[in-house]
Structure 1
Amino acid sequence: MISVTLAEIARIAGVGRAAVSNWRRRYANFPPPVGGTDTSPQFALEHVEEWLRRENKLKTAVNPLDRLWPEYESLGDRDLTGALVARVGLALSGSAALAITDDLPVLDHHATELLDRSLRLAESEGGARTFDLLLDRWLRTHVRQVAVTPQPLAELMVTVAMAVSSAAPPIVQDPACGTGALLLAAGRRLRDAGHRFELWGQDDDPVLVALSAARLAMQGLTENGPGSAVLTTGDTLRAPARHGTAVDMVICNPPSNERDWGHAELATDARWVYGQPPRTEPELAWVQHAVSALAPGGVAVLVLPPAVAARRAGRRIRAALVRAGVLQALIALPPGAAPPYGVGLHIWVLRPEGAPAPADDPSPGVTLVDATHAYPAAEGGEIDWASVTQQAVNAVLGKVPQGCVSLPAVELLDDLVDLTPARHIPSSTTATLVDLRRSWGRFDRHMQSLQDAAGALSALAPSDDADPTRLITVAELEQAGALDILSGQTLPEAVVRRGQRRTGDALVLTGPPLPGGPDLWLPATVIEQGVRDGTLTVTASQDIIVSTLARSFDVWVESEAPTVLGPQLLALRVNPEVLDPWFLSGCLRAPANVRRAGTHASTTSRIDVRRLRVPRFSLEEQRRYGEIQRMLCAFERDLLGLQMAGSELGRSLGDLLAAGRMARD
């Protein structure tokens, strides 16, 4: 039996997930769940399709590709499903034997039949489209287990490596190739430039190796062209493939924070020229492995967590790399460049000892690049990859543009050997006269608004009406059709971005918005696709958003639609002819109401929104109370704004005082 989720039913029916939730609630004959959980139920596909046809709910003919993926998921095994996707790509590319090893799961009868059906479907839907859809769905399903290097970062790393390399590298290696994003970027660049090349990849996950082979084969980078690929399954640190054979370029996004990487058994390994990596520093093991694999004149480019540049445990190895001239450059990227999106990763550029320095760089040392602000905040905030690339390439060529500094080794070899670029690149943060006057202007505006709101609210007083007000629960309002409750969904972390948004992109919320914190957002194209297939919950204007965790419970009326909601949030979409959203939001967030609706069955207590109660008022009376709620929200907003503006003023005046630049205007 093939089972499907609510999102997959929405995709098959060509509607949003909210519509499927409404069908399930309003139609008594909707198929019952056959598995899953209360929050993510699963339904029998054949029963769902039968119900959709009987109720005339299919807007368009079922897309064969949408019908295909649930059958893959029905296999119920991450490795078997991934191996099947890889076999589809390899078969479509004519490289069916490539990377198919004994380590891969053996296809049973059902999987073999599904493979044959996928290949037949590709004849009508297109091979590339079929493989890309299957790979995308597999990666999205296992996004927490499989880290993928985004294409812009992969292209940046290849561009930097090519700029440093003195000639076209005939052999490119990725010792932790994963799904092959870096090898793919390198192969495309070298092929487009007309070079002959070899791509070497290794990973300890045979499924990822097979998927890498399939991606390279689908792009024609494995055989019958200017390039070839050799992919190997195995633990690179413990058993490196082709050990002793030098390569011209290493590009790698190695796994981080792994404690079981072979620290004890590799204690005397010859690769640790610059010191044995501590058990807590696996990234420095990868760095030394990459350097040991380079031929004279080669280059290694690795993306690493920012802590590797500063952790005390690795300071001796960092010092040895700097002293030997192996570390050529360190580039700090903006947050959001790659998973984990909450931190700004670093790119390390390394060359073997004795490699020639760029002709434009007369002084030996390390070039530090701070590209953490390489996005135009005023224009929306997506990372400006062209600016990052230009800044990084100029820096590694010795031109030292703005935001960069080239330091001799002696200036870095202190007790900490902290290579974090922001600690060495000077920046002026002292407030200017314009900054100071702008801060005072914000403070005055919030102060005036706060006084106006306080004057209006202070005129209110308790009513003398002794008659008890009749109440109705949110659950009863939902049953009456006065509102719909839309649950937030798990977000596709691989495409969530951080920073200021561009026009047209949508804010992402995983809880109540934090004042002054960086925005999370999704590109408009992802939003459109998520709405179509029901995998995202996107708000509309005047929706009421509820954060359901008790420790962060909050209710507010949507004013920045569309917003994408995470799994701890709900959207209440009201019928404006029955309910006023501002009135309803004020009632829902009342402390006494919240105490009655709380659940404390576990350490993560939640608020059951359906148990919250609302007075039974006419629409006219609701709107009167709604206006009061608007004033109360404005009061709270201005109070918070006044606090933030005052804190900013305090910091600016403190900076001026410390710099000795305080004077009377």
Structure 2
Amino acid sequence: MPQSSAQVTAAEISRIAGVTRATVSNWRRRHEDFPEPSGGTESSPLYDLESVRAWLASRGHASAATPSEELRTMLRLRTQSGGGGGGRSEDLLLLVLAAAGGPTEALTAATRLPDAELVARAQRDAASAAGAVPAADADAVRFEAGDVAVLRALYACVRDEGGQAALGVLAERELEDSAASGAYVTPPPLADLLARLVPGSPARVLDPACGSGTLLAAAAHRGARELYGQDTLPVQARRSAVSLMLTAPEATVAVRAADSLRADAFPDLVADAVLCNPPYGVRDWGHDELAYDPRWAYGVPARAESELAWVQHALAHLAPGGYAVLLLPPATAGRASGRRVRAELVRSGALRAVIALPAGASVPLHIGLQVWVLRRPEPGGPERKSVLFVDTAADAVTTRTRGGSRSASVDWEGVTTRALDAWRAFTEDPDAFKGEPGAAHAVGVVDLLDDVVDLTPARLVRASRAEADPAELSAEVAATRRKLTEAAEALARTAGREEWSPAGATAREWRTATASDLSRGGALTLLRTVPDSVRTRAQASSGGTGGGGKPETRAVLTGSDITTGSGPTGEPMGLYDDTAPVIAVGDVLVRAVANTEGPMARVAGGEDAGALPGSHVHLFRPDPARLDAWFLAGFLGAEENIAGASTGSTVLTVSPGRLRVPLLPLEEQRRYGEAFRHVHELRAEARRATSLAEETARLLAGGLTGGQLLPSGETAAEVRGRGGDSPH
């Protein structure tokens, strides 16, 4: 069967085979039957891809690449060869949508078609989906012979990993190209937080600057069934529409391509909730032409206040009592040009909360963004006397990247818990809300309406620190110090428990196998979460959820949980059904993203059992008669192993099948396993001691500066006796 083949470099061959480039060089020198170059130059030869694959198969080196990595490679090769294909990115998006709705057998059949038939089939499929995607033209869909490798890989990726995986690969280059224009993805944990700040389960949700649709997807996971989006970039609108149709196939999806402020695509829409991460710092947003727009019920935004224009656009689309949650830059809270609009938002009761996020929560990473929660006032509704302010800056965790530099990461569990706990307590009874000194405080409307109307949370929650009771704070400090002392003693005992012998004059060398090889041999099973589109097809074919009833709600173990050593903290949010893999004691869990320091792997214990692996977690289930779990976790998570199996530039994604494991007898595995278990305990004790030290220092510093605690050796009677004299 004639099939087109791309040309690959030695580096590409190493990725396909899951070996180093040095190994590929050795193959070229040692094996006369290694394929001859089919192009390129003497210093940078190119090889026929199918010939290389046939040679690898003859040597027992099956591809270690996942279907998504295969698609990524084919797209990269097409670009490197000068874009020989005619398929545009929007055509491929349409093809993903069409393919995700087809049965597995049809996708398999498509991958086996001859080149000409495959091109014709893909063109028909993509054109059939054009009517559901904004600004898509069925007559403009064109695929050519140069697209065959990409088309074959795309069908296989959708079949094996789902439409969202294929869509993510297609979007990677688009996101890189659009970064300069300010189009950024809202991180999933932040999108989830914004959606959860809306009380109840709103059915109709609008995002007027939807980008890739992350916020609307988060709303769909929480029960929204009508999703409306608009974005000024047509490619983003198309991508958002496809993504939402894959994420929420039962929801009504309407996405339009236009500037929401200048050309509102939904002028009559009254939504239950609005979620938005608008563009920041835009001066040409239509200030002059929109000066008399009826949306400016709280004042005409100044030319430098495009963010306050988005705030009022969101409020204008809400039903009375509906909520809007926007992600905004910190300058919006205090710029002099926005004072009058901010004052009216506070005075009317429309502004309900401002939540400060740690730096690094979202782009731009160097500043701490803020979440504004607003509610459209109801005629004759209750008077709103206060506004909630929350500062989550304490939930930034400083880590060291694999390059050696220090960076701030976000403790999303801490941020989410702090923000939602304060918000829920405030909404239940604003007048009785006590807050948390230094973290959350409800400020009266009268106190906010001064000459500047500065709504910066850090300033307002710090002002409440003096309200803490000195005796209660002193007792809390004493209890935390006791825990710190106990943790330090446990860490010292763990660190001094073992002796480690040198291996000899040189380091020990291993004979290894890839995880893919071990999986084929039955030594372990590699499990992954069922993608949405695959699950949807399976349910459609079985006439239900696959189990005959509503799936059980389970916690989700995330990549962040592996890093921090916590138990499962994620939520299913409708992503999983009863066919998803469930974690069992003894499973080995590996993070799928390798950008930050910290453990990459761990063995599942009792607290993990019954949870689901998150979308960024690989689950390895070893056969205990052949593989020791702690031995496997230690070597899978090794720094060099992770580096060799990772791809990407800004985001390092781990290909699980390419991870390598030494081939050792079971008894020797167990000795290494005990050593790795000790390393795990040492890391856990160190993490606990560090956390308690930070908490103790925070309480002491806050108590000293807030006036609740005195320096060591001083008494309250001595301070009163001095009458608060100034230092001399």
| Counterpart residue number, 2:144 | 109
Q: Secondary structure at the match of 2:61?
A: coil
| Counterpart residue number, 1:68 | 71
| Counterpart residue number, 1:515 | none
Write the letter of the residue equivalent to 2:429. Answer: G
CA contact 1:509–1:566 (8 Å) conserved in 2: no
Write the letter of the residue equivalent to 1:183. Answer: L
Work out the CA distance in 2 between the residues paired with 1:100 and 1:115: 24
Q: Deviations over 1:360-394 (max 9, x none)?
A: xx75232222334458999x955333554333333
| Counterpart residue number, 1:608 | none
CA offset at residue 497 of structure 1? 7.8
| Counterpart residue number, 2:310 | 286
Q: Which of the numbers 459, 465, 485 marks the counterpart of 1:427?
A: 465
1:210-249 residue pairs with structure 2 within 5 A? Answer: 210-221=238-249, 225=250, 227-249=251-273
CA offset at residue 413 of structure 1? 1.9
1:245-644 residue pairs with structure 2 within 5 A? Answer: 245-354=269-378, 363-373=384-394, 381=411, 383-384=413-414, 385-386=416-417, 388-398=419-429, 400=433, 401-402=435-436, 403-425=439-461, 426-427=464-465, 501-502=564-565
Identity %: 32
CA contact 1:103–1:206 (8 Å) conserved in 2: no
Write the letter of the residue equivalent to 1:427. Answer: R
Q: Could you say if the C-alpha distance between residues 373 and 357 of structure 1 is closer, same or farther in structure 2, counting changes exceeding 3 Å?
A: farther
Q: TM-score, normalised by structure 1?
A: 0.58
Q: Which of the numbers 149, 154, 175 marks the counterpart of 2:191?
A: 154
| Counterpart residue number, 2:52 | 49
CA offset at residue 252 of structure 1? 1.3
Q: Secondary structure at the match of 2:135?
A: coil
CA offset at residue 239 of structure 1? 0.7
Q: Could you say if the C-alpha distance between residues 540 and 177 of structure 1 is closer, same or farther in structure 2, counting changes exceeding 3 Å?
A: same
Q: Secondary structure at the match of 1:328?
A: strand
Q: Could you say if the C-alpha distance between residues 30 and 241 of structure 1 is closer, same or farther in structure 2, counting changes exceeding 3 Å?
A: same
CA offset at residue 250 of structure 1? 0.9
Write the letter of the residue equivalent to 1:67. Answer: E
Q: Could you say if the C-alpha distance between residues 275 and 521 of structure 1 is closer, same or farther in structure 2, counting changes exceeding 3 Å?
A: farther
CA contact 1:172–1:199 (8 Å) conserved in 2: yes
Instruction: Give the number of equivalent residue pairs.
Output: 483
Q: Deviations over 1:97-150 (max 9, x none)?
A: 201524797434247756864575368x34xx2423222323444554352223
Structure 1: gaps of 5 or more residues? 192-196, 446-480, 482-494, 511-518, 531-537, 546-561, 568-644
Q: Secondary structure at the match of 1:162?
A: coil
CA contact 1:88–1:115 (8 Å) conserved in 2: no
CA offset at residue 209 of structure 1? 1.8
| Counterpart residue number, 2:223 | 190
CA offset at residue 661 of structure 1? 4.0
CA contact 1:375–1:383 (8 Å) conserved in 2: no
| Counterpart residue number, 1:92 | 100
CA contact 1:333–1:344 (8 Å) conserved in 2: yes
| Counterpart residue number, 1:80 | 88
Q: Deviations over 1:302-328 (max 9, x none)?
A: 122233222333223212211222111
More off after superposition, 417-426 vs 348-357: 348-357
Work out the CA distance in 1 between the residues paired with 2:712 and 2:12: 65
Write the letter of the residue equivalent to 1:70. Answer: T
CA contact 2:68–2:157 (8 Å) conserved in 1: no
Work out the CA distance in 1 between the residues paired with 2:365 and 2:378: 36
CA offset at residue 174 of structure 1? 0.9
Work out the CA distance in 2 between the residues paired with 1:506 and 1:117: 29
| Counterpart residue number, 1:664 | 713
Over aligned residue pairs, what C-alpha RMSD do you find?
5.5
Is 1:121–2:156 an aligned residue pair? yes
Work out the CA distance in 1 between the residues paired with 2:288 and 2:354: 29
Work out the CA distance in 2 between the residues paired with 1:220 and 1:107: 28
Q: Secondary structure at the match of 2:132?
A: coil
| Counterpart residue number, 2:167 | 135
Q: Deviations over 1:76-104 (max 9, x none)?
A: 48993354134312443377120152479
Work out the CA distance in 1 between the residues paired with 2:353 and 2:235: 34
Work out the CA distance in 1 between the residues paired with 2:10 and 2:561: 28
Q: Secondary structure at the match of 1:272?
A: coil
Work out the CA distance in 1 between the residues paired with 2:559 and 2:360: 8
Q: Could you say if the C-alpha distance between residues 22 and 371 of structure 1 is closer, same or farther in structure 2, counting changes exceeding 3 Å?
A: same
CA contact 1:371–1:388 (8 Å) conserved in 2: yes
Q: Secondary structure at the match of 2:199?
A: helix
